[in-house]
Structures are given as structure tokens and as C-alpha cells.
Structure 1
Amino acid sequence: LESLYQDRIKPMANYVKGRLKERNSPEVFVKTFVELYGQHPDLFEVQNPMGGDEATIFFHKNPEWFKGWIDIDSPEDPYDEVLWGSLAKFLDGEHTFAGGRYGMARELMQRNLAFLAPYTLGQVCHIVQLSIQHRRLIVYHRKMLKPIQTVLCQLPSEGNGNGAAPEISSEGEEIKDMDDLTLVLFRMLMHHPSGIRLCRMKQMIKHEFSRKLSEMAFQCTKLIELFSQEPLSATFVLDTENDGKSIYVRLGNPDTFSDHIKGVYAMANAAEAKQALQGLQHGVS
């Protein structure tokens, strides 16, 4: 538990369990650790949230050296451009990382990279998340995290056979299948990471991509009904604001996407990177 405090990773049960396994703890401890921590309320505080979410385990009193938890999912980027430049330079090669963002962060830490030396594992997890969702330096591709340039180089030789991510449709076409809609939503959320208002989604799709969306094409009478269907329900989150008057569509956790949707996500990242590169080349010319 103390090591998670040092890493500034909030000790939710799955992280505690993972850390116990990393340290080869006895299997009986791995299976019953929540109950064992709960038997010592003078030392630990076990919080069991409502709704069946996983428990979180804290020290009863924070260590004096503790600097607070890192919000790994935060869109805020507090890191300087020197770090991002160093990371981009490091990723300019044939790298692949297993185990999602945590697995990649652990591997980066194990490599003792000088530009990551000032940061904790929790901060590096956040850096990886920003690299995926905002900086678009890395993408999910075939169950692995890879540098975007590596994936871009591979895409032209990959077909669109069974299980492959969809090709990018032409402008003006109506969106008629879930993969196409998911791809468009991924790209829109890269432009609007804070979320898209549901009531403006159709207009934004038309304005930004010259595409048309009709819920009737998906046998729905209301746009919100689309997000109760798979894969949208497992990929995006609907949040309400202004006392429930506004509904926002936001990106879910890429770590939990199915393999197929991770492929679509990689395609969206690749399309955005290609568009940005074309814009840069056009500006230079």
C-alpha cells in the first residue's frame, strides 16, 4: 500500500491487487486482501462505495511525505514541452507496449529514462494517458500501445477484411453503421476532449466532417437511444450538466475498449495525425 502512495496512484482494489501480484504475495492474501485490511481499522480505512464499485484502501493517516493522488484520467496537461519533445523522440522507433497505459508506464519507468526521472509512476500513467487521448503520440493497435507513426506506416498494407477497422468514408455520405459512427465520434472528441453536447452532435458532424447522421438509420427514434446500443454504450459516457438540462457525450476509458473498437480508435488517431501532417505540409508549401 505504501508503494502506491509513493507512486501517487490512488489505491483502488484493482491496483492494490496488481501490486500484490507484482510482489509475489501469497495467493490467499491476494484473494482476501480487502477483508484483511478491514480487520485493522486503526491502520487502514477501507471505503466500499455504493453501486458495487471496487473498494479503495487508504492508510488511516497519510504519510507526511505524501504529495497527493494523480488523476490519471485528467485532461489537464501540467507537463512542459521539453518532456513531450523527449518522449516523442524516444517513441520515434519500433516500440510496442503491453498491459495498457499502466503496463506502458511501468515499462517506461523500468527503462530509467532521464526525462522521466522526476516523475512518479502515477504521473507517468497520466503522461501515457495524455499521449493517447490528447497528444496522439501513441495509439492502441492489435492489443498493444504503439507510436502513431509506426501504425501509420503499417496502415496502407492492411486490408479491410473481417475484424479490421473500417475505412474512412467519403464526405457527404450518411453514417449507416456503428463502426463508422464510432470512428466519427472518436475524431470529434479529439477536437473536443471536454465532450460534445448531444443536442448539437448532428450539426457538428455535418459542419466538421460533412457527414450526415440520422438515428432512423439505426432503428432509433431519438439520438440518445443510440448510446444504449453496443458498441456505443461501452465506448462513450453520457454526462448531464446544468441540472440535467444538457447531455454531453464523452470518451470512455480506452483501456476497456474491445479489441475491435481499439482498432477503430487507432484508425481515428491515424486519420487525425494524417490530416494534421497534411495541414503542416500545406502550410510549408
Structure 2
Amino acid sequence: MGKNKFAMIGNGFLASTIADAYCRGAMPEYELTAVFGIGDERSQQIAEKCSCKVAQTVDELLETKPDIVVEVASIEAVQEYVIKVLKHGIPFVALSIGAFVDAAFYEKAKQTARDHNTRIYFSSGAIGGFDVMQTIALIGGAQAELTLTREASTYRDTPVFSQEVLDSGEKGLLFEGTASEAIPLLPRMINIGVATSLATIGPDQTRIRIYGDPNMPNDDDVYIKVASDQASAEMKIYSKSSILVGWSVVSLLNNLVSPVYFY
């Protein structure tokens, strides 16, 4: 029996992380067929390392007949390509989950997957715990919240940036609201909030708090709480870099072909 084929949309740090894992033998059941992304040089580097094709378009990527397509690019890439991939009956792994905060788009993607007998997979990315979060939400009466703290200057050039907090030398609240309200303000930073909301009680109900801390290293500090009268879960996740996000895709893909599935 041949190996399972996968292709990647995206050629940045996360794509390189997955490619490195692949070359290290961490994905023994897979063959990487193609990589597609902005900038041929980065795609070529991955292709040379992994002996795969550089696709100039998603259509070229699909011509390599992957069994699954992995997005490690952007919200815009998900919005542009997920429907096309699903219409080919190919499962789609999304890291840029913020694309699905749009309820109409989310429903369209889900219906397309149903119509073509395939699936969308949300990788756990930098947080994990989707299984227990979803289980608690199913019991009923749950509330969900996520708190993200980053070094204050990393929010510069975003609508939530506060020079006052940066100059104060103290941790300060930059945003508080719903996941639906947060994603337009921080489309690159709050995918984790959208993921939490879709796994639990929805983007309009899940609460998001964002803090800036002038004294914090340039890392992510994430706290998630999902609670009902019957059960609760609290998770604190620290990630020094986004390497955890790339490796979560490796873990997901391995799970999908394993005789034992860790949910």
C-alpha cells in the first residue's frame, strides 16, 4: 500500500517546520507532493529539501492528487481556496481558523464538505484541548473565555496598541469583547480565540481578553477556561515560538492514519 499524499498551501515558517519534520522521518506514512505559496524562492527551498513540486496555482497543487491539503498561510488563503479543495473531495486542514468567524462562510464550507463527502480539520495549533472543550460545551450551559498576553510592543500597528501601556511599564488590558469582535482587529493573532469559540459556544458568546505587558519576552501566554455547572477545564499554554503550531499539524496528520487515534 502506498503512502498518503499531502500538499501545503503556504511556504513560511510553519510550512518549513512541517517540511523539517517530514524530512526527519516524523511523518513516515506520508509523501509531500507539492507546496504553493507567495514567493517562489521559499517554495523552492522546501521543494528541494522534500523532493516535491512547486505549484504556481492551487489547481497545479491539486493536479498532484493529494489525499489531504494543509493550509499554513493566512485567513485570506483559507477564504480563497478551501471551497475549491473541498469540491475535489479532498480534506482540508486549516490553521488560519479566523477565516471561519464569518458564520455564513463557515456554513458554506461545512455544507461543501458534506456535499463532497469530505472534512475540514482544525489543527490544535498553539492551544490544544479541543476535545475537552467541546465535551464540556456539549453538556450545556457552558461559558468560554480566552486571555492572551503578549509583549506590549507586538501590538504596534494594530487597533488595540496602547502607547500608554507600553510606557507605563505595567501589564494593561488592551481589549475585552467577543471572538467576533476581536478577529477584525487582530486577524493574525487571535486565531486561537476563534478556534476556542468554534469548539465551544460560538464566536459571539466566547469572551476574549487581550493584555500587553512591557516586561514580557516576545512570547505567547494563553489562558483558556471553559466551564459549566457540571464540569470545567482551565488551560494555560506557554509557547516560546510558533513551532508548536507547525508540529500540531504533524501530530494531526499522523493521528489521521494511525490505528490508534488520540482525540
Fold shared per TM-score above 0.5: no
Larger RCO: 1 or 2 (CA < 8 Å, sep 6+): 2
TM-score normalised per structure 1: 0.29
Looking at secondary structure, tell me which structure has more strand per residue. Answer: 2
If you compute each CA radius of gyration, which structure gives the higher value, 1 or 2? 1
Q: TM-score, normalised by structure 2?
A: 0.31
